[in-house]
């Protein structure tokens, strides 16, 4: 497991004291090989679940066909440095003319007629537009479910001994057991 970190500032005592973490983008990258000879993927999965439960931003990459070392190592390190570079210096993407029209529409409260040209789903403005379009539905859901304010949903309890015994363990890809 490799953990690459970017500082996350917290308010008023942090999560343990009931404070909410400040959202400054992604905080940690957890990278793990699913078939790690050292079983580091178990620690990565544990840390991922802790970060998820605390609602702390992070990226978690579990590479299925990878070991601690081997051919996947260099591409995984390259991906980690690419991620880190994007966190330290996010790329500046200039708006196209129709994106400028959509940005103006959203900045003005989306009260006028929307631009005629559709916004591509890959545009940096697409998430903002989607959240605007879903605002009333999200508000209605938040009125009934206080976890809507979380970044990550609450996961159900892990399998208990009673339920996990009904599920046979998968065969290991290397030894077929």
How confident is the chain (177 residues) per 10-residue block, as mean pLDDT? 49 44 61 89 89 87 90 92 87 84 90 89 90 90 85 70 54 55
What whole-number distance in Å separates Cα of residue 107 and Cα of residue 129? 11
pLDDT at res. 56: 87
Give SS3 for 164. helix
**pTM for this prediction:** 0.62
Residues 6+ apart with CB under 8 A from 36: 1, 66, 67, 68
pLDDT at res. 169: 57
**For tokens 């309890």, what's the residue?**
157
pLDDT at res. 76: 92
Give the strands of the sheet with 58-63, arranged side by side: 2-5, 28-33, 58-63
What whole-number distance in Å separates Cα of residue 59 and Cα of residue 47? 11
End-to-end CA distance of the chain: 25
DSSP for residue 10: B
Share in percent of the chain as helix, strand, coil (round to 5): 40, 10, 50
Q: Which of 75, 44, 76, 74 is nearest to 60 (CA)?
A: 44
Q: CA distances (Å), 84 to each of 27, 32, 77, 154, in order?
A: 10, 16, 10, 28
């Amino acid at each position: 497991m490799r953990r690459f970190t970017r500082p996350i500032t917290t308010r008023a005592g942090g999560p343990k004291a009931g404070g909410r973490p400040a959202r400054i983008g992604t905080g940690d990258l957890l990278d793990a090989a699913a078939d790690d000879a050292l079983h580091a993927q178990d620690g990565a999965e544990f840390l991922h679940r802790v970060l998820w439960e605390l609602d702390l931003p992070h990226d978690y990459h579990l590479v299925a066909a990878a070991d601690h070392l081997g051919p996947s190592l260099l591409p995984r390190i390259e991906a980690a440095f690419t991620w880190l570079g994007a966190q330290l210096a996010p790329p500046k993407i200039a708006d196209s003319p129709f994106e400028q029209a959509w940005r103006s529409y959203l900045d003005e409260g989306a009260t006028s007629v929307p631009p005629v040209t559709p916004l591509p789903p890959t545009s940096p403005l697409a998430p903002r537009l989607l959240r605007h379009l879903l605002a009333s539905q999200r508000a209605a859901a938040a009125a009934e479910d206080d976890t809507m304010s979380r970044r990550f949903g609450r996961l159900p309890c892990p399998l208990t001994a009673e339920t996990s015994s009904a599920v046979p363990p998968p065969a290991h890809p290397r030894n077929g057991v």
